[in-house]
Amino acid sequence: MSEVVHKSINNSSMERQPLRIVLQQLIYKVINPFVKFLIRIGFTPNAVTTTGLLLNIGVAAIFVLGAEEGNRGDLSYVGWAGGLILFAGLFDMLDGQVARLGNMSSTFGALYDSVLDRYSELIMFLGICYYLIGHHYFLSSLFAFIALIGSMMVSYVRARAEGLGIECKGGLMQRPERVVTVGVTAIACGITASFIGGDYKLFIPGIPFHVFETISIFTFPLTVMAVLTNITAINRLRDAKKSLEEKEMK
pLDDT recorded at residue 20: 66
Instruction: Give the model confidence (pLDDT) of 160-193 as tens digits.
Output: 888 888 888 777 788 888 999 999 999 999 999 9
User: Are residues 74 and 81 in contact, defined by beta-carbon separation less than 8 angstroms?
Assistant: no
What percentage of the chain reaches a pLDDT higher than 70?
A: 91
Strand partners, 213: 201
In 3D space, the residue among 245, 242, 246 whose CA is nearest the CA of residue 170 turns out to be: 242
In angstroms, rounded to a whole number, what is the distance separating the alpha carbons of residues 61 and 75? 15
d(CA 203, CA 110): 50
Least trusted range by pLDDT, from 53-62, 74-83, 100-109, 228-237:
100-109
Mean pLDDT of 223-229: 95
Average pLDDT value for residue range 81-92: 92
Do the beta carbons of residue 186 and residue 81 sit within 8 Å? yes
CA separation for the pair 46, 53 (Å, rounded)? 11
